[in-house]
Amino acid sequence: MQLDKKRSIRQALAIATCGVLSQSPVSLQAADISWKSDMTTLHYAEQGRVSVSETIASFRREVGEDEWVSLKFSWDAITGASANGAIFNPPKSGSTQTVTSPSGTSRTFQTGGSETVDPLTRFKDVRVAAQVSNGQYLTPTLKGEAVGNLSFENDYDSYGAGGTLAWDIFQRMITLTGGLSIDIDTVRPINGNPPEFASISNTARLGQGEKQTIQSIIGLSQVVNRKTLTQLNYSRTMNDGYLTDPYKIVTVIDAASGAPVDYLYEKRPTSRVRNAIFWNTAHHFTEDVAHFSYRYYWDDWGVRSHTSDIQYRLEVWRGHSLQTSFRYYTQTAADFYQYSLTQGQPLPSFASADYRLGHLITKSTGIKYSIPFSKQIDFSLRAEQTHQNDADNLFPSVNATLFQAIFSISDRVDYAQSSRAPP
């Protein structure tokens, strides 16, 4: 037994030595790695506002000939300030008063002669999330995957489950996909949710808010020719329950002077039906690759949006690549979006001054450099600059930068990294 053990160690050392001598320093054989792993860490920062640090790790392993499992973990730390809906640039004078927010975290309001509220709410939160999935080929052309996920924040929990099916037809020229998922979320600020349309001076609090989300998607992807792949999806999402944001407020202004006289917690409808049509295309230029996508979105809150995204991946040298991207987004405002309410007027059924439901334009420009460490290991660095502005010029612009590092280990060799593509 002892001899066998020694022999096996000797053999293992011999194999390892031969492997080291016969291989280039960083190359790995396909059989050496049985897990596919993707890891990323990122820092997102808005100028003068929120910043987020996030780390995600995902692992995928074949557990049978046609079956696999995957696990994913995320951790976010969020800190900084977020626009709460109060109007910007009212006169600020007088003393500073600290008020307890629904999350239990202190929030600073500046009060003076005209009693103004700081339009930025400071907060700090941590989110942890996990996802597990199991997929398998049910027939040689039909693939199914079931997913379960949960996430926890200081004031928000989410539990979800879903599944997708993908069916290859016409000699695998077309893939039809369908998916369904349900999420049950709980909004639970530490001291409870504020009553909708209550003044911020009202300390009454309600219990936690619950909402349910059902998402469905159908799609078709098709091989157009040897170098082009295209996809068309339709998704429908139904939200029901407490959809109000307990941290957002609406300013009540004096009709004559326009000065703020009170601040009310916002109120949104209790249901939302969201639709999106998404078209995505990839084209191979023998070495470089371009991706283009366009999405049209509409919902019953009156939000309509157009999103265009283009990415061009330039092959630089020996698998190194440089990707540039540009995204343009524009949306109409929700029907109940109001920058402010007027004192003396009857309250509307719903109102929100959340700039994310306003007339918004977002432009993003990104760059990413990828370095192959081996045939199976890839490392990328990415930076993205985003500029978001209110088309009605009521809220100030938001500038954000994102830095992301991505480390990927594949369980199979991507020969595009190591061989010259045929003409």
Q: Is 12 helix (H, G, I), strand (E, B) or coil?
A: helix
For the stretch 82-108, what's the b/e string if a residue is b when 16 or more beta carbons lie within 10 angstroms of its beta carbon?
bbbbbbeebeeeeeeeeeebbbebebe
Q: Is 359 helix (H, G, I), strand (E, B) or coil?
A: coil
- What is the Rg, in whole angstroms, of the alpha carbon atoms belonging to the chain? 26
Torsion of Cα atoms, 390 then 237 then 299 then 232, to 10°: 90
Based on CB atoms, which residue is closest to another protein, 253 or 368? 368
Q: What's the closest the beta carbon of residue 412 comes to another protein, in angstroms?
A: 9
Q: What's the closest the beta carbon of residue 93 comes to another protein, in angstroms?
A: 28
Based on CB atoms, which residue is closest to another protein, 117 or 253? 117
Cβ contacts of residue 338 below 8 Å, gap of 6+? Answer: 250, 348, 351, 352, 353
Based on CB atoms, which residue is closest to another protein, 374 or 386? 386
Q: What's the closest the beta carbon of residue 201 comes to another protein, in angstroms?
A: 22
Based on CB atoms, which residue is closest to another protein, 61 or 295? 295
77: its two tokens: 């730390």
Q: What's the closest the beta carbon of residue 311 comes to another protein, in angstroms?
A: 8
Closest CA to 260 of 310, 199, 218: 199
Based on CB atoms, which residue is closest to another protein, 27 or 307? 307
Q: What's the closest the beta carbon of residue 4 comes to another protein, in angstroms?
A: 42
Q: What is the DSSP string of 280-323?
A: EEEEEETTEEEEEEEEEEEETTS-EEEEEEEEEEEEEETTEEEE
For the stretch 117-133, what's the b/e string if a residue is b when 16 or more beta carbons lie within 10 angstroms of its beta carbon?
bbbbbbbebebebebeb
For the stretch 184-199, what's the b/e string if a residue is b when 16 or more beta carbons lie within 10 angstroms of its beta carbon?
ebbbbbeebbbebbbe
Q: What's the closest the beta carbon of residue 384 comes to another protein, in angstroms?
A: 8
Based on CB atoms, which residue is closest to another protein, 60 or 261? 60
Based on CB atoms, which residue is closest to another protein, 203 or 212? 212
Cβ contacts of residue 228 below 8 Å, gap of 6+? Answer: 281, 282, 283, 284
Q: What's the closest the beta carbon of residue 180 comes to another protein, in angstroms?
A: 6
Task: Give CA–CA dist 228/232, Å, rounded.
Answer: 14
Q: What's the closest the beta carbon of residue 160 comes to another protein, in angstroms?
A: 5
Q: What's the closest the beta carbon of residue 94 comes to another protein, in angstroms?
A: 27
Based on CB atoms, which residue is closest to another protein, 114 or 233? 233
Closest CA to 395 of 168, 154, 89, 178: 89
Phi, psi of 3 (to 5 degrees): -60, -45
68 contacts 135 by C-beta, under 8 angstroms: yes
Based on CB atoms, which residue is closest to another protein, 136 or 235? 235
